[in-house]
Structure 1
Amino acid sequence: MGFSLNFAPLAPYWPVFLTGAWLTLKMTTVAIVVGVSIGTLIAFLKRGSNRAVSKACSAYIEAVRNTPFLVQIFLLYFGLASLGIHMPTFAAAVLAMIINIAAYAAEIIRAGLESVPKGQIEAAECLGLSRWRIAWHVMLQPSIERVYPALTSQFLLMMQASAMASQISAEELTAIANTVQSDTFRSLETYIVVAFMYLALSILVKLLAWGFGEYLFKRRRIIRRAALEAARRRPPAIPPFKPVAATAATAANTTTTTGSAS
């Protein structure tokens, strides 16, 4: 019994696939913006002088990072429903994503803050800068620039983890795929299409993150532009100088050797 791929039954479902992809992208965007903002605050609070707040932030990060994302979604959706708090599937999925990415972003940003030299902070304090300006210009911007690749990877992982929201019937891309394959009985073709759509979404998130990084980190553009200008103004390489006497001696030795061989 042979099997052949047939994508024709999926053609009427393209609008449904695009709707699911748009919902996935919207969930990821909201989770990234809100989650990174909360994670930045938690990173500063964890490094603060208040030990009780610092320990509470550490406990939150460890609790989130050491429990499965699917369990976190179930706790918010089914657990709160048992307490009488009913949330829409979209809200529960996005809230779980925010809580998850905030913990990971907090730890990544904290590592970046730790990399800022203390002498640089002390120099800013000696200049009379306010705590807000020191935190923003001296600490946060350089640290975010250093850890931005790690944050971008976390954004991609969060976008892919949004597929877990299909377990609470959120109409994102994976949930749409489950519905389509149950209607068409073309499971392989359906999930091949979904895999390519996730690949396209990942490339789109990478491009958006790269463009935002180019806009946010002006120092990168300045350094790149200066390197290009230096390479353009660099004089061409001059071939090594060979003295005439040495060249003549080499030619004479070559002639002598040739004559002897003859």
Structure 2
Amino acid sequence: MDYQLDFVGLFPYYKDLVSGIILTIQITILTTILGVSFGIIGAATRVGKNKFLQNLVGGFVEVVRNTPFIVQLFFIFFGLPTIGFKLTALEAGMIAMVINLGAYSTEIIRAGIEATDKGQWEAGKTLGLKWYQIFIHIILPQAFNKISPALISQCVIVMLGSSVLSQISVEELTFTANFIQSRTFLSFESYFLITGIYLIFAIVLRFVLTVVSEKLFKTKAMKEGN
């Protein structure tokens, strides 16, 4: 094998690469915030008393969890416009990611809520707190304390799944790598580089979310548990 690596050949496209990195980071931040928020609302509904909403959210979660992400993406981007919902590629991609993370995080957070001592609800009622106050200030911090590793892993998985958005021409990192290799024919170098970048993203995202979780929930959960 006499192939000579040529990473220098990628340099003329560094601006495209930087743009792809920035867009991937922006997508990750926004979809993580919205997806987890969606999951909190979904989990609250799942443990609530309204059977209709429980079944509705439960059915939605099952559909999302049991269908491929790329099919969901194509349905939103190619399917919805046929009934009048026109979206840009970026809008469709972000909606698909939020829905996907929201469905998975709904079940993860629900499991954390159900694993929380039921006596915490009764203690909150004794103090005269309303349902939503008990949920937000007592139950949710303790639930997050239990399920943060699983939820963080799911956020990382969804971030890595953002590469699928290149299939609808969202100019994120994978799209950029496809563009560069199509111009330079440096396929090994292009994909080796973005593999390293995704690896760094995953490590940094996991670290940041772990720190945020500890700051926001672990201390509060310990106080509430006492």
Question: Which TM-score band (shorter chain)?
Answer: over 0.9
Match of 1:133 in 2: 133
Match of 1:113 in 2: 113
The answer on whether the counterparts of 2:20 and 2:176 sit within 8 Å (CA) in structure 1 is yes
The answer on whether the counterparts of 1:214 and 1:221 sit within 8 Å (CA) in structure 2 is no
Quote the Cα distance in structure 1 between the aligned partners of 2:80 and 2:29. 24
The answer on whether the counterparts of 1:43 and 1:109 sit within 8 Å (CA) in structure 2 is yes
Quote the Cα distance in structure 1 between the aligned partners of 2:218 and 2:54. 32
Q: CA deviation at 1:111?
A: 0.1
Quote the Cα distance in structure 2 between the aligned partners of 1:4 and 1:39. 48
State whether structure 2 residue 46 is matched by structure 1 residue 46: yes
Which portions of structure 1, spanning 4 or more consecutive aligned residues, are displaced by more than 3 angstroms? Answer: 220-223
Quote the Cα distance in structure 2 between the aligned partners of 1:141 and 1:102. 18
Quote the Cα distance in structure 1 between the aligned partners of 2:158 and 2:215. 23
Quote the Cα distance in structure 2 between the aligned partners of 1:218 and 1:120. 16
Deviations 1:7-34 (A, max 9, x none): 1110111121111011111111111111
| Higher mean C-alpha deviation, range 208-217 or range 22-31 | 208-217
Gaps of 5+ in 2: none
- Normalising by structure 2, we get a TM-score of 0.94
Match of 1:206 in 2: 206
Q: State the superposition RMSD in angstroms.
A: 1.7
- Normalising by structure 1, we get a TM-score of 0.81
DSSP 3-state at the match of 1:67: coil
Gaps of 5+ in 1: 224-262
Letter in 1 for 2:80: L
5 Å matches for 1:168-183?
A: 168-183=168-183
How many residue pairs match? The answer is 223
The answer on whether the counterparts of 2:142 and 2:218 sit within 8 Å (CA) in structure 1 is no
**Which structure: larger Rg?**
1
The answer on whether the counterparts of 1:120 and 1:138 sit within 8 Å (CA) in structure 2 is yes
Q: CA deviation at 1:152?
A: 0.7
State whether structure 2 residue 94 is matched by structure 1 residue 94: yes
Match of 2:37 in 1: 37
Letter in 1 for 2:192: I
Quote the Cα distance in structure 2 between the aligned partners of 1:121 and 1:48. 13
State whether structure 2 residue 160 is matched by structure 1 residue 160: yes
Q: CA deviation at 1:221?
A: 11
Match of 1:59 in 2: 59
Q: CA deviation at 1:220?
A: 8.0
Identity %: 39
Deviations 1:208-234 (A, max 9, x none): 2122123213528989xxxxxxxxxxx
Letter in 1 for 2:8: A
| Higher mean C-alpha deviation, range 200-209 or range 51-60 | 200-209
